[in-house]
Structure 1
């Protein structure tokens, strides 16, 4: 007789988490007891808030823009669908780093030139000051680049989630006289969110890591602070060990929180199904 193995959720003890926790504990002890690690951590951690700010603002903007693109891609208008498809396919094919350079060194100067051209009558009479390229913050150039890059991926997440909703329920909502906005708000989105949440969480974690790319513009994030310290002290092993440690605290902690939320939602669905 063949035996059926237990489900992965019951059989697999999270040894990986135990090992990761051991490494995290070891580094935490080093930071507390070792003066060198303590000094590196105090310097590098100053960039954590920039990393968090870039990630939160960039992801919020990318999510809003991605949802708009998804709605455009599912629109009845052929023009809107083609515009959304063009944007998604082009942007997804460009590496984030290249997009970052393009926005920072091509897009920003182009924007400044266009703004000055538009405002030239007011600039000539002194009502408005002429804008300089340096007036456009490198931090916001980086955020805009991440927003543009991730919005294309997030739009596909929303599109898949919306398409996963049963067509019959949408037709029933139409029969009840709900407007398109009401159908989306009360019928489509609440059901689609369960499909959307896991990949959306993965994109958020990926953006935390990709936020390190803003260091190439000199933005004082976690990676940049580590790079500056390592280049001056030549303590590359210790510095980048601390940088990796902080990133892992952020990403693994968030990953565990998202898994717990997914399990809670799944359990709520099972209880709702059992009751009705």
Structure 2
């Protein structure tokens, strides 16, 4: 493996990795808060809202993300809803991961003792104050391992955007492999993914340690 060749293809791989990181970042930033909101709706007593959200979660978790990407980019224009490639990828990823996060947070909310809410009422805290100051800190501690698994999956799932023609990390590696007839680009792609997953793992461990005082 020539180092000159490695340095020659690294810029294109880093450019693809930058797109991968953008999709990863914005999906997390939007889907986690959206997942919390959806989980609150799933545990609410408003039956029509609960039913609609249950159907949404069922659809997102019951169909492959790859199919959802294809539907958002190629299917929605049939009814007049058109997204650019990058926007279509973000919409599909956010909707998909928000559904998974919603189920994770729903389980976290249901694991918190009802006595926590009753104690908050005694202290005359409003519903949203109770959720924000008492319940969510406990729920975060409970769901961190499950959230961590989804975060790591997101790093790898981002490679699916190739199906709608986005130049992510894996696509950059495939282009170089096809052009130069060598597996070196794919080995470098694998190394970059391993580094990204390793960084995420370290950050998640720090977060778990940060919330260890709830033990």
Report TM bin, short chain: over 0.9
Query: Match for residue 44 of structure 1?
Result: 13
Is 1:71–2:18 an aligned residue pair?
Answer: no
Alignment of 1:54-93 (within 5 A): 54-93=23-62
Confirm or deny: 8 A CA contact 2:112 2:139 kept in the other structure. Answer: yes
1:213 maps to which of 157, 160, 179: 160
| Alpha-carbon distance in 1 for matches of 2:71, 2:84 | 15
Q: TM-score, normalised by structure 1?
A: 0.73
| Alpha-carbon distance in 2 for matches of 1:232, 1:110 | 38
Query: Match for residue 200 of structure 2?
Result: 254
Query: Match for residue 239 of structure 1?
Result: 185
The CA deviation string for residues 183-211 of structure 1, in whole angstroms up to 9 with x for no partner, is 11111111111012221122111111101
1:57 and 1:111, CA in 2 relative to 1: closer, same or farther beyond 3 A? farther
Q: Any runs of at least 4 consecutive aligned residues in structure 1 with deviations exceeding 4 A, and if so which?
A: none
Q: Which has the larger radius of gyration?
A: 1
**1:146 shift after superposition:** 0.7
Is 1:148–2:117 an aligned residue pair?
Answer: no
| Alpha-carbon distance in 1 for matches of 2:174, 2:180 | 10
The CA deviation string for residues 30-75 of structure 1, in whole angstroms up to 9 with x for no partner, is 7xx7112222223211111111101111222221221121011010
Is 1:201–2:170 an aligned residue pair?
Answer: no
RMSD of equivalent CA atoms: 1.7
Query: Match for residue 166 of structure 1?
Result: 113
2:79 maps to which of 106, 110, 127: 110
**1:149 shift after superposition:** 1.1
**1:109 shift after superposition:** 4.3
Is 1:222–2:169 an aligned residue pair?
Answer: yes
Query: Match for residue 209 of structure 2?
Result: 263
Uncovered stretches (5+) of structure 2, i.e. residues with no partner: none
